[in-house]
Amino acid sequence: GLIKTTTSSPSKALLRSFNPPDAWKVNSGQRTGKVVYIKEMFHSRTCIGKLPASVDPCSSYIVFSPRDSRVPRIKISPNDKSLPPRYLEEPALYAETLFNTQITAWNDVSFAQGVIIEEVGQSGDLEVETLAILLENNLDPYPMNSVLNVFFPRLPYVIPKEEIGRRADLRRDCIFTIDPATARDLDDAVSVRRLDSGNLEVGVHISDVSHFLHANTLLDETVCKRATTVYLVQRVYHMLPVELCQLCSLTPGEDKLAFSVFVEMTPKAEVVSHRFARSVIHSCAKLAYEHAQMVIDNPEKTFTSEDFPEIHNGFTAEDCAATVRELYKLSAIMRKRRFDSGALRIDQPKLCFHLDSDTLTPLTSFIYENKESHRLIEEFMLLANMTVAEHIYAAFPRLAFLRHHLPPRPNMMAELQKRMEMYGVNLDITDAGTMHSSMCKYSSQMPEEDPAWSWARYV
């Protein structure tokens, strides 16, 4: 189990229980046990905090105070060379300085022992606080070593003819990306074409990073450690080297390698068949959600080049608009069918900021609103993911990983229902579908400016 003891950070450990399992029920007995073996440390045993602004010359240690209250205070020897050079003489100089500290031992319940790894900087400074957040969450904030660049080709990159010959050549198809207006990493693109049968073939094209990222290389090991791209308000810390991101990004007007999922659908959005292909695409445009929403809001309008960003490859604004219209019709049917079948969606309000272009400090804030254009892309990303997942499960039933969400605890749902009744909201918690229907009902009745009902805007 995942536990926290007085002698280690959160860890995987083997336990010998004291209470029998039938006593481990809510409100019927204290869960107790004994750690017999620590199998794996989860926590990095590092923390961000401050040194005291004054030093007791008679004390045999200095107490470092972590910002995270879950981490114990740390004793550091006055003779430890990791302390700043002038700290003992003028500790007040470091009163507002953040340090990254490593726990080396924890044998006392109240205090651990440790050493300072690095001085992070002055608290309150935007860049310092950003660095501190990353470090205390065990994320790597530093640029990747340039030696990793030998594992992928440099820009400008021309796809070899031999590689194009091994792939489906989609460079003459009307394919484009739809992303936030500020997006730089363009990972996925969409397309649709009408078949002779009257059906539609939807294409979802994902940047083929695997072509450049080979297993068991130093680059692969580095990416595995990072595991994900970290998005902060004013900066992005990439999982991949920045140059590799640029190489793979589905930039309009350039030939790019992709992995494509094709799904044949009837005009009523019923799936007929699917196929997969490694492909070469040439995105004709980088649309923002606002452009797609403009098409959805104006279905009868004929769009021109003035309405959209630059369009490449001989296509027109109306070609892109026609694709958006077709995809939107299908996505609306798919979404309705999902929720009619009992799906539940709860959107958390997403707070966004307008930043000063020079200092990157926030100027104003706003709630990011999900519209039909976002849901359009969401539906087809879900479709592609589910299609791939079903194919993998059919081919490798014993090896495929299936994500399983445990149902919420009945007592927690009952408590939620009771609390909402206090505000005049009667939620039907029978299942996910009835709960979603309840929330939608209140969303449609929501008073325009009543902050107490703000949650309903995100159903």
Q: What digits encode the pLDDT tens for the residues 372-400?
A: 999 999 999 999 999 999 999 999 999 99
Number of domains in the chain: 3
**What is the rounded CA–CA span in Å between residue 101 and residue 45?**
8
Give the least confident one: 31-35, 139-143, 184-188. 31-35
Does a structural domain hold residue 401? no
**What is the rounded CA–CA span in Å between residue 353 and residue 363?**
7
**What is the rounded CA–CA span in Å between residue 154 and residue 244?**
8
Are residues 75 and 200 located together in one domain of the fold? no
Are residues 316 and 190 located together in one domain of the fold? yes
59-99 per-position pLDDT tens digit: 999 999 999 998 999 999 999 999 999 999 999 999 999 99
Are residues 166 and 251 located together in one domain of the fold? yes
Does a structural domain hold residue 28? no
Does a structural domain hold residue 40? no
Does a structural domain hold residue 398? no
46-50/177-179 β-pairing: unpaired
Tokens 């981490």: give the residue.
71
Are residues 247 and 291 located together in one domain of the fold? yes
- Give me the pLDDT at residue 76, please: 95
Are residues 76 and 171 located together in one domain of the fold? no
pLDDT greater than 80 at residue 189? yes
Choose the final residue of a domain: 119, 137, 155. Answer: 137
The Cβ of residue 348 has, within 10 Å, a number of other Cβ atoms equal to: 7
Are residues 267 and 293 located together in one domain of the fold? yes
- Give me the pLDDT at residue 41, please: 67
Structural domain boundaries, residue 321: 146-389
Residue ranges of alpha helices (H) inside 84-179 are 126-136, 161-165
CATH number at residue 62: 2.40.50.700
Does a structural domain hold residue 319? yes
Are residues 75 and 221 located together in one domain of the fold? no
What is the band of 9 on the pLDDT scale with cuts at 50, 70, 90? very low
User: Residue 350: what are its φ and ψ, rounded to 5°?
Assistant: -105, 115
Are residues 252 and 356 located together in one domain of the fold? yes
Q: Is 61 left (phi over 0), alpha (psi -120 to 50) or beta?
A: beta
**What is the rounded CA–CA span in Å between residue 47 and residue 136?**
5
- Give me the pLDDT at residue 14, please: 54
Are residues 208 and 310 located together in one domain of the fold? yes
* Tokens describing residue 37: 């073996």
What is the band of 3 on the pLDDT scale with cuts at 50, 70, 90? very low
337-363 per-position pLDDT tens digit: 998 888 887 777 888 899 998 988 889
Are residues 197 and 98 located together in one domain of the fold? no
Are residues 238 and 200 located together in one domain of the fold? yes
**What is the rounded CA–CA span in Å between residue 191 and residue 206?**
12
